[in-house]
Amino acid sequence: MKNTPLTEKHIALGAKMAEFAGYNMPISYTNISDEHHAVRKSVGVFDVSHMGEFIVRGKEALDLVQKVTSNDASKLEIGDAQYSCLPNEQGGIVDDLLVYRLPQDMCAEGEKAFMLVVNASNIDKDWAWIESHNNFDTRMINISDQSALLAVQGPKAVEAMQKLTDVDLSSIGFYTFKKGTFAGIDNVLISATGYTGSGGFELYVDNQHAAKLWDAVMEAGKDYDVKPCGLGARDTLRLEMGYCLYGNDINDTTSPIEAGLGWITKTKKGDFISRDIFAKQRDEGVEKKLVGFEIEDRRVPRHGYAIEDADGNVIGEVTSGTQGPSVEKPIGMGYVEKAFAGADAEIFVVAGSKRLKGKVVKLPFYKG
């Protein structure tokens, strides 16, 4: 099991640690609900250094990125980021990821450079997949093991952290980034992509600076009741926003069209992997769709539970579920037959011998 550069910090803080994607990660420090509310109301800090980062640079770097991702990276200006996915050749999803268009000083004249941020559990798989399609004048560099990443999230994140940098944090728009000095550390990439729905930003640094950065962030946040947060709260926060988690809500057998990710699937941008499959799905429709639902019962829906209609026919399966700390009700996501994908459709989640009545709702659950 791997450690992040901050594992000892988490243990010293008394975090409950567990294996996640091959890493020893903090699940919670106090409890998930407290950490969840800290992010919704003030500021919380996550160590997400387990994520993978690939640099793609060269004269045909854009061509490679366009080939292997579903979104249109040609729209990215320097300083922009976008959410995308890596389709496989059967119309499934190898992974979802972030694509950053890097500054020109990251590459030679006539070249372009991108950073791809991928899920920890898929680093090796993603690298092999992208590399297998790299027949372009482009170099790939895996910096995952050298990179640390903090997510400083919450409505007071900018105010709490501004003293640590000359970069105007409030000027970093959603899905943009800047590079600058942060907590005395040079060349920190500061982005605002978020995974919580409560604002904030991410800090990418070399491993050697991770401990210094963590200490500075925690010190700067004291007046704002900053809290270290684990992956448990990260999951409840993202689920309240209806954000997909790879391995639960999307995987190698689910299409981005089925998953409600048609907005990152640009079939008119030109050729890319499974483009024709997605275009056909757009034209003809799909048989199942990922939906959000609320449960009327007090019990929580869990991954893998069957979803039935009123007559007891199986119409789908739960992919994610939790008790939403902010919305104060059991919520979940799952794939259902298209006839039951509309808002207010009645469904029943099978929890052992009990059927939990629920209804499909429009995402996100948390409206802010």
One DSSP character per residue, 291-310 reads EEEEESSSSPP-TT-EEE-T
Q: Does 189 share its domain with 296?
A: no
In a domain, 263, yes or no: no
pLDDT of residue 206: 98
Indicate the DSSP class of residue 20: E
In a domain, 102, yes or no: no
Instruction: Tell whether the torsion through CA atoms of 178, 148, 52 and 34 is positive or negative.
Output: negative
pLDDT of residue 229: 98
- pTM comes to 0.97
Indicate the DSSP class of residue 184: T
Q: Does 170 share its domain with 225?
A: yes
Q: Does 154 share its domain with 230?
A: yes
Q: Does 199 share its domain with 311?
A: no
> What are 212-229's pLDDT values in tens digits?
999 999 999 999 999 999
In a domain, 332, yes or no: yes
Q: Does 234 share its domain with 159?
A: yes
In a domain, 120, yes or no: no
CA distance 332 to 321: 4
Indicate the DSSP class of residue 364: P
pLDDT of residue 107: 84
CA distance 189 to 267: 31
> Whose CA is closest to 68, among 145, 135, 142, 124?
135
Instruction: Give the total number of structural domains in the chain.
Output: 2
- What's 210's domain CATH number? 3.30.1360.120
Q: Are 310 and 348 in contact (CB under 8 A)?
A: yes
Domain final residue pick, 216, 240, 264: 240
Q: Does 308 share its domain with 186?
A: no
Strands (E), 218-368: 227-229, 288-295, 306-308, 314-324, 329-337, 346-351, 354-361
In a domain, 294, yes or no: yes
- What's 352's domain CATH number? 2.40.30.110
In a domain, 134, yes or no: no
In a domain, 323, yes or no: yes
Q: Does 171 share its domain with 23?
A: yes
Q: Does 353 share its domain with 223?
A: no
pLDDT of residue 105: 87
Reading the chain (368 residues) residue by residue, the pLDDT tens digits are 999 999 999 999 999 999 999 999 999 999 999 999 999 999 999 999 999 999 999 999 999 999 999 999 999 999 999 999 999 999 999 999 999 999 998 888 899 999 999 999 999 999 999 999 999 999 999 999 999 999 999 999 999 999 999 999 999 999 999 999 999 999 999 999 999 999 999 999 999 999 999 999 999 999 999 999 999 999 999 999 999 999 999 999 999 999 999 999 999 999 999 999 999 999 999 999 999 999 999 999 999 999 999 999 999 999 999 999 999 999 999 999 999 999 999 999 999 999 999 999 999 999 98
Instruction: Tell whether the torsion through CA atoms of 287, 367, 70 and 132 is positive or negative.
Output: negative
Q: Does 27 share its domain with 175?
A: yes
pLDDT of residue 368: 83
Q: Does 219 share its domain with 291?
A: no
| Domain around 342 | 287-361
In a domain, 180, yes or no: yes
Rg, C-alpha atoms of the chain: 21
Q: Does 45 share its domain with 157?
A: yes
Q: Does 291 share its domain with 236?
A: no
